[in-house]
């Protein structure tokens, strides 16, 4: 469903995707199936959005941003795509940003360009993300810091000694600032 008060120029929108009023989507954007693009969203040309993505109001998705499937983008999340912004910059260099599958970004977070947010990562409201975020990281603050690790459903993993235990009982260990699943014997 595309609301009649939106301006959708792309033909590359999957089935069962909803686009609400006052949203603008440019002609080369690619949007998957079963997405929910809320009101007051702007999506530029060089953008790829996977399946089952929710983008809440007040979000602008600039060229060079890829949002994989099953991602939640909260209201007023701010993305960037230029590390050295200047008006009418003749040397503009677009930086690519990827939000991996299953990640969620809280309301009002700012995502600087040229980074990757890992699979199932959970970014807290108003966080400032300035570097790559590992898979399953729980990140809050300005600048964003990893304060824990999350399950697929976004719930926080429990810490037991040097391990983290997920909601299925599997053990995980932090190695080189990333969460690694421990082999079961």
Name the domain count of the chain.
Answer: 1
pLDDT in tens, 46-73: 999 999 999 999 999 999 999 999 999 9
* Cα→Cα distances 44→72, 80, 150, 164, Å: 18, 12, 31, 39
> How far, in Å, CA of 132 to CA of 144, rounded?
10
175 falls within a domain? no
182 falls within a domain? no
pLDDT of residue 185: 62
pLDDT, average across residues 167-180: 94
> How far, in Å, CA of 23 to CA of 52, rounded?
18
2 falls within a domain? no
User: What's the predicted TM-score (pTM) here?
Assistant: 0.96
CATH number, domain containing residue 142: 2.160.10.10
87 falls within a domain? no
Sequence-separated (6 or more) residues with CB below 8 Å from residue 49? 29, 30, 31, 32, 35, 43, 55, 61, 66, 67
Domain residue limits at 25: 7-82+94-152
60 falls within a domain? yes
Reported as half-sphere exposure (CB side, CA atoms, 13 A), residue 60 has a value of 8
53 falls within a domain? yes
């Amino acid at each position: 469903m595309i609301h009649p008060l939106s301006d959708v120029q792309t033909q590359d929108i999957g089935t069962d995707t909803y686009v609400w009023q006052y949203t603008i989507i440019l002609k080369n954007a690619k949007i998957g199936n079963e997405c929910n693009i809320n009101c007051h969203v702007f999506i530029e040309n060089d953008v790829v959005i996977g399946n089952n993505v929710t983008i809440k109001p007040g979000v602008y998705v600039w060229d060079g941003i890829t949002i994989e499937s099953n991602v939640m983008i909260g209201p007023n999340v701010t993305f960037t795509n230029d590390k050295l912004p200047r008006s009418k910059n003749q040397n503009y260099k677009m930086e690519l940003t990827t939000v991996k599958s299953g990640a969620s970004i809280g309301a009002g977070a700012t995502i600087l360009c040229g980074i990757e947010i890992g699979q199932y990562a959970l970014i807290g409201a108003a966080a400032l993300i300035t570097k790559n975020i590992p898979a399953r990281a729980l990140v809050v603050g300005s600048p964003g810091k990893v304060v824990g690790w999350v399950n697929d459903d976004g719930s926080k993993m429990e810490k037991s000694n040097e391990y983290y235990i997920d909601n299925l009982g599997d053990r995980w260990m932090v190695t080189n600032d990333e969460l690694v699943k421990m082999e079961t014997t």
